[in-house]
């Protein structure tokens, strides 16, 4: 593996184990609630879902056929292995086009036969812990902002943590979803667009996968969903998932000691959150 080189280094370190056509992904920036066992469980689910999608012929970056499709633990880290795929460099991703492709992904995922946890992609334990940790970090979050975040989370957390509460509030259909901003995680390759990075795959409303992408992407998704005979996005559910996503951005400030660049990276999202209706307008 003398030619191995790093492809990506942020929340995870992603390394091409050249000359082998294998890529290893190692999550390294994690909330304190995500120990090795928790990571391995999530990774097994990801590997199973992506392998199933590949078997159905859906365009994804699949697990490596050269390595058992199981997470491997070393030195306190849990890692997975994927088929190396050339990614085409583009000046700017076409998120609206990708949003339409997310509807195709949702249609494929509807047939997944395995069990998935409800809205685990929201990582409610991470948000709860972060709001405790940020109390001691006024340099990262103003006390007034922390107070608002805690009050919002009191409204949103029951709907995130309980499928029954969510269904009673919204009545929206649930299905397997990608879980982690798929318009961003659909990549261009010489063979076409491929879906990648299913680390947060979960059972949830389709709106979760369009959170924070805005009206143009929502319209592109709805147009493709109509063509496929799928339901269109529910605006009230969108407000809910956008509110939860905004709180996840606030919670990421608790990870700044691990990854200092996060302070600047999530700053615009926190500024935007301050201007939004309390808890997405669900309750005051």
Q: Got the DSSP string for the chain?
A: -TT-EEEEESSEEEEE-TTSSEEEEEE-S--TT--HHHHHHHHHHHHHHHHHHHHTT--B-PBPTTS-SS-EEETTEEEEEEE--PPPP-SS--HHHHHHHHHHHHHHHTT--S---BTGGG-HHHHHHHHHHGGG-TTTS-HHHHHHHHHHHHHHHHHHH-HHHHHHHH----EEE--S-TTTSEEEETTEEEE---TT-EEE-GGGGGTTSHHHHHHHHHHHHHHHTPPPPPHHHHHHHHHHHHHHHHHGGGGTTT-TTHHHHSHHHHHHHHHSPGGGGT--
The whole model's pTM is what? Answer: 0.95
pLDDT at 69 over 60: yes
Is residue 2 very low, low, confident or very high in pLDDT (cuts 50, 70, 90)?
A: low
Instruction: Quick: pLDDT tens for 228-263.
Output: 999 999 999 999 999 999 999 999 999 999 999 999
- How confident is the model at residue 284, as a pLDDT? 47
Q: How confident is the model at residue 31 (pLDDT cuts 50, 70, 90)?
A: confident
How many Å apart are CA 203 and CA 184, to the nearest integer? 19
Question: In the CATH hierarchy, which fold is given to the domain comprising 1-84?
Answer: Phosphorylase Kinase; domain 1 (3.30.200)
Confidence of residue 8 (pLDDT cuts 50, 70, 90): confident
User: What's the confidence (pLDDT) of residue 91?
Assistant: 59
Greater model confidence, 7 or 223: 223
> Residue 95: what pLDDT?
96
Share of the chain above pLDDT 70, in %: 98
Q: In the CATH hierarchy, which top-level class contains the domain 86-281?
A: alpha beta
Q: How many angstroms separate the CA atoms of 27 and 84, rounded?
A: 18
In the chain, what are the domain boundaries? 1-84, 86-281
- What span, in angstroms and rounded, lies between the C-alpha atoms of 125 and 119? 12
pLDDT for res 46 = 98
Mind listing the pLDDT tens digit for each residue in 176-235? Answer: 999 999 999 999 999 999 999 999 999 999 999 999 999 999 999 999 999 999 999 999
Q: What are the pLDDT digits (tens) for 16-28? A: 999 999 999 999 9
């Amino acid at each position: 593996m003398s030619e191995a080189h790093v492809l990506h280094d942020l929340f995870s370190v992603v390394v091409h184990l050249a000359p082998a056509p294998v890529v290893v992904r190692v999550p390294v920036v994690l909330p304190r609630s995500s120990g090795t066992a928790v990571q391995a469980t999530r990774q097994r689910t990801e590997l199973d879902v992506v392998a199933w999608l590949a078997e159905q012929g859906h365009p994804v970056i699949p697990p490596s056929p050269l390595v058992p499709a199981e997470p491997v633990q070393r030195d306190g880290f849990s890692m997975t292995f994927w088929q190396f795929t050339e990614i085409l460099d583009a000046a700017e991703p076409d998120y609206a086009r990708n949003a339409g492709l997310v509807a195709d992904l949702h249609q494929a995922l509807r047939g997944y036969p395995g069990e998935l946890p409800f809205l685990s992609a929201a990582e409610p334990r991470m948000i709860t812990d972060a709001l405790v940790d940020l109390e001691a970090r006024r340099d990262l979050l103003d006390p007034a902002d922390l107070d608002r975040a805690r009050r919002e989370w009191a409204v949103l957390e029951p709907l995130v943590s309980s499928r029954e509460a969510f269904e009673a509030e919204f009545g929206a259909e649930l299905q397997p979803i990608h879980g982690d901003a798929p318009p961003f995680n659909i990549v261009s390759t010489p063979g076409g667009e491929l879906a990648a990075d299913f680390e947060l795959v979960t059972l949830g409303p389709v709106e979760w996968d369009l959170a924070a992408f805005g009206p143009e992407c929502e319209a592109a998704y709805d147009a493709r969903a109509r063509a496929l005979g799928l339901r269109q996005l529910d605006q009230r559910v969108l407000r809910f998932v956008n509110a939860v996503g905004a709180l996840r951005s606030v919670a990421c400030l608790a990870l700044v000691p691990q990854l200092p660049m996060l302070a600047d990276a999530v700053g615009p999202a926190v500024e935007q959150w301050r201007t939004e209706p309390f808890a997405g307008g669900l309750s005051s």
